[in-house]
Structure 1
C-alpha cells in the first residue's frame, strides 16, 4: 500500500512539472506536437496517395525518405545557425518553411512532386525540432530531465494525433491533412511570436562543423549509432506497415496508429522515468530495444495477417516510448558539448537511419516478400543493442 502511494506521488510530481510550466514552454511544446504530427500524418493516406498518384509502395515510401534525409543532414547545421540568429528566429523560420511546403504538398500532382516537397518540409522540420529541444530546456522550470520528458510528451502526443488527424482528413481527400498541418503550424507560429521572449545567444558560437566534430566523443557516437539502428526499425514500422493492413480505411489505419501513439506517450512520460530509477538507463534501454526487436520479428512472421500487424503496431509504441525518452536523456548527459550541438549531432545520425528504412522496406518487399522487410528491421534493432552493449564503457556518465 505504501509502495502504491509512493508511485502515485511520483506520477503526480511528473504531472505537476508538466502542467506548471511557463507559457513560452507551452507555445514551443504545442508547435512540437504539430511538428511531430507531420511525421505520422501520411501513414493513413499512403495507400490513397499510391492509388491516386499511380505510385508503387516503394515510391510512396520515399515521402518518409526525402523528409527524414533532409531533416538529418540539415540538423548538422542548426546549432551553427541558431547560435548566430537566435533560437526564436530559428524556430520561426522553421515553422514558415513547414507551412509553405505542407501547403504546396497538398497541391501536388505527382508522387515525384510530393516527395520533393516533403524534402522541403524536412528542411523546416530540422530547423524547428533541433532548436525546440534546446529551447524547452532553456525556458522550462525544473531539471533538464523534466524538460526532456515535456519534449517527449509533445513527441508522443504528436505521433498519436498525427495519424488520427491524417485518417480523419484523409477520408475526405489525401490532400486535406497537408493543409491541416499548415494551418496548425500557423497557429504555433503566432503563439511563439507572442509568448516566447528572445533567448540570449550563447557567448561561444557553434562552429560550422561543430555537430559533426562532436561525434568524435565516444559516448555521443555510441548513443547516436544505437539510435540509427533503432530508428531503422522505427520507420520500417511507420512507413511500410500501413500497406499490409488489407481492407482498412484511412480512419481505421489512423486509429491503429493513434493507439500506438497513446502508448508511446504514456510510456515515455510515466513508465520510462520509473524503470530508469529502478534498473538504470542502459539496462532499461537494452530491455526496451530487445522487446521492440521481438515485436518486429513477430510482425515478420504475421505479415500476411492485418490483425497481427495492427496489434503489434500498438504494442510496439510502449517500448518505443521508453527508448525515446531514455536515449534522448542519455545524449544530453554523456555529451561534453553544448546541448544544441549534441542534439543536432544525435539527430543527424538517428534521422539518417529513419531515411534509409522506408525506401529499403518497400524494396525488400518487392525483391523478396514483406516477411523479410520486418526480419531485417528486427535485425537492425538487435545490432543497435550490440552497439550499446559494446560501447557501454563510453556511457559511464549515465551511472
Structure 2
C-alpha cells in the first residue's frame, strides 16, 4: 500500500494540507477577536462562511470536474485556497477575513471532492488500500490543523493563514509536476442532479441527520475556545488531541464496530454518546479541565460517525454515488454553517453553557431522525470508484 507512484503522494500531501483548514482557525479565534475587537459570534463566521460556501460548492464540483478533468479541478481548488488564505492573513478587518475564508471554502470543495477519486485511479493495489491511504492523509490533516494553528498563532494570528498559503503553493507545484493529465471521462453531471436526489427518503433522512449532527460538531469547534480561556498554543494542543482521536477512530475503531454491529446501531450509538458529551460540557462550562477531556473524547465519537455514516449515505438512494455525495454534503454543511454563528450569539447573550445545551439537543434530534427513518434505508452495492467518491461526503466536514 505504501509503494505508490509520486503522483499519489503529491495528492495525498495536498489532502493533508486541505484538511488542516477545518481546525486551523480554532486556536486563533480569541486572538483574532482581541485584535479586531470582535465578538465571539463575529469571529465564528470564519467557520460559517467556510462551511456555507463549501456546501453550496459541492453541488457544482461534479459539474466542473466532469468538464475540465480531475487534475485541472484539483489545481483550480489549490489556487483558490492559496489566494484566499494569503488575503485573509493580510486583512485588517473581521469582515474581510470572513469573506476570504468563504473563498477558501470554495477552493476546498473543488479539491477534496476530486482528490480521493484521483488517488483511487492512480494508486497501486486495491481500492480499499487507496481509501485507507486517503483516510490516513485526512486524519493527519485534521489532527495537524489545530496544532499548526496554535504554533503559528502564538506568534501572530496571521501566521496560520500565511503558513497554509505557503504549504498549498508547494502542493500545487507537486501536483502540476507529478500528476499526469486527466482528461474528462464519463457522463457529465447536471447541476440539478444532486437536488433531485433529495427526493429519495433514505438519502434525505441521512442528510437531515448529518445536518443536526453538524450543529453539535461545529458548536464544539467554534465555541469551546472561549470558555477555555487559554492561549493559542494550548488550544492548538487540545484540539490536536481531538483530531488524533478522530483519526484513530475513523481508520481503526469505526470499521471494527461496523463489522460487529452494523451501520445503523453504530451511528445512532455514536450520536447518542456525542450528545451526552455535549451535555456534560453544558453542565461544566466553568470547569476548563472537564471541557478539555470532553473535547478530546468527542473526537472518538465524531471519527466513528464520520466513517460509518458514509456507507449509510451510499446505501440510501438509487442514484450515482457522486450525486448522492453532493446532495448529502449540501444539506449537512447547512448545520456547519449555522451552528458557529448561532452558538456565538447564545454564548454572548444567554449563557456560556447554552450553546452546548443546544448542540446536545440537535445531535439527539439527528439520532432520532435516523432511527425513525430507518425503514427508508436500503442496501445497494456501489462500484469501487463510486464508493471512493462518496467517501468524500462523510469526511469533508
Settle same-fold status: TM greater than 0.5.
yes
2:208 is the counterpart of 1:225:
yes
Partner in structure 1 of residue 339 of structure 2: 357
Partner in structure 2 of residue 288 of structure 1: 270
TM-score by length of 2: 0.91
C-alpha spacing 1:303/1:344, structure 2 compared with 1 (3 Å): same
Partner in structure 1 of residue 108 of structure 2: 125
For the 8 Å contact 2:239–2:296, the answer to whether it is kept is: yes
| SS of equivalent to 2:224 | helix
C-alpha spacing 1:390/1:137, structure 2 compared with 1 (3 Å): farther
- Equivalent-residue separation in structure 2 for 1:346 and 1:100 (angstroms): 28
- Equivalent-residue separation in structure 2 for 1:30 and 1:74 (angstroms): 23
- Equivalent-residue separation in structure 1 for 2:126 and 2:306 (angstroms): 18
- Which has the higher mean CA deviation after the structures are superposed, 302-311 or 389-398? 389-398
Correspondence 1:1-399 to 2 at 5 A: 17=1, 19-141=2-124, 144-246=127-229, 248-397=230-379
Q: Kindly provide the CA deviation profile for residues 264-285 of structure 1, in whole angstroms up to 9, marking residues without a partner as x.
A: 1011001111111111111111
| SS of equivalent to 1:337 | coil
| SS of equivalent to 2:297 | helix
C-alpha spacing 1:298/1:398, structure 2 compared with 1 (3 Å): farther
| SS of equivalent to 1:109 | coil
For the 8 Å contact 2:249–2:304, the answer to whether it is kept is: yes
C-alpha displacement of 1:222: 2.0
- Equivalent-residue separation in structure 1 for 2:119 and 2:319 (angstroms): 18
- Equivalent-residue separation in structure 2 for 1:40 and 1:149 (angstroms): 21
| SS of equivalent to 1:397 | coil
C-alpha displacement of 1:157: 1.4
C-alpha spacing 1:335/1:227, structure 2 compared with 1 (3 Å): same
Q: CA RMSD in A?
A: 1.8
Partner in structure 1 of residue 395 of structure 2: none
For the 8 Å contact 1:134–1:339, the answer to whether it is kept is: no
- Equivalent-residue separation in structure 1 for 2:128 and 2:100 (angstroms): 35
C-alpha displacement of 1:29: 2.1
| SS of equivalent to 2:189 | coil
Q: Kindly provide the CA deviation profile for residues 54-101 of structure 1, in whole angstroms up to 9, marking residues without a partner as x.
A: 100110001110111111111111111111111111111000000001
- Equivalent-residue separation in structure 1 for 2:313 and 2:123 (angstroms): 19
For the 8 Å contact 1:330–1:398, the answer to whether it is kept is: no
- Equivalent-residue separation in structure 1 for 2:6 and 2:255 (angstroms): 24
Aligned residues: 381
For the 8 Å contact 2:317–2:378, the answer to whether it is kept is: no
- Equivalent-residue separation in structure 2 for 1:384 and 1:375 (angstroms): 14
For the 8 Å contact 1:300–1:375, the answer to whether it is kept is: yes
Partner in structure 1 of residue 394 of structure 2: none
C-alpha displacement of 1:341: 2.3
- Equivalent-residue separation in structure 2 for 1:66 and 1:207 (angstroms): 25
For the 8 Å contact 2:68–2:183, the answer to whether it is kept is: no
- Equivalent-residue separation in structure 2 for 1:364 and 1:158 (angstroms): 30
| SS of equivalent to 1:173 | coil
- Equivalent-residue separation in structure 1 for 2:6 and 2:328 (angstroms): 28
- Equivalent-residue separation in structure 1 for 2:333 and 2:13 (angstroms): 22
C-alpha displacement of 1:335: 4.0
| SS of equivalent to 1:205 | coil
- Which has the higher mean CA deviation after the structures are superposed, 218-227 or 318-327? 218-227
Structure 1 gaps, min length 5? 1-16
TM-score by length of 1: 0.91
